[in-house]
Amino acid sequence: MKNPQKILFLADINSTHTELWVKGLLGRGFKIALFSLSKSVITWADDLENFEYHCFGIEVNEVKSNRRFGKFSYFSALTEARNYAESIAPDIVHAHYASSYGTLARRVGHPKTVLSLWGSDVYQFPKRSPFHRLLFKRAVRFAKVVCSTSVDMAREAKKYVDREIIITPFGVDMDLFVPAQVGTMNEMTTIGTAKSLEDVYGIDRLIDLFAEFNSKVNFPVQLQIYGEGTKKDELIAQTQRLGIEELVTFNGFIRGDDLIRAFQSFNVFVTLSRRESFGVSTLEAQACGVPALVTNVGGLPEVTSPETGIIVDENSPETWCDSLLELVGKSRDPYTIELTRQFVQDNFSHEVCVDKLIEVYRNV
Question: Which pairing describes strands 51-58 and 310-312: parallel, antiparallel, or unpaired?
Answer: unpaired
What pLDDT was estimated at residue 74?
73
Bridge partners of 93?
8, 113
**Single-letter residue type at 261:** R
Do 278 and 303 contact (CB within 8 A), yes or no?
yes
Q: Which domains does the chain have, with CATH numbers?
A: 6-171+349-362 (3.40.50.2000), 189-347 (3.40.50.2000)
Average pLDDT of the chain, as a whole number: 92
pTM for the model stands at: 0.86
Mapped onto helix, strand or coil, the DSSP state of residue 216 is helix
pLDDT one-digit tens code per residue, 114-131: 999 998 899 999 999 999
Question: What is the spatial distance between Cα 94 and Cα 22, in angstroms, rounded to a whole number?
Answer: 11
What pLDDT was estimated at residue 184?
62
Question: What is the spatial distance between Cα 305 and Cα 173, in angstroms, rounded to a whole number?
Answer: 17
Who contacts 84 (Cβ-Cβ below 8 Å, separation ≥6)?
8, 33, 35, 54
Does position 65 have pLDDT exceeding 50, yes or no? no
pLDDT band at residue 135 using 50, 70 and 90 as cut-offs: very high
Question: What is the spatial distance between Cα 197 and Cα 228, in angstroms, rounded to a whole number?
Answer: 5
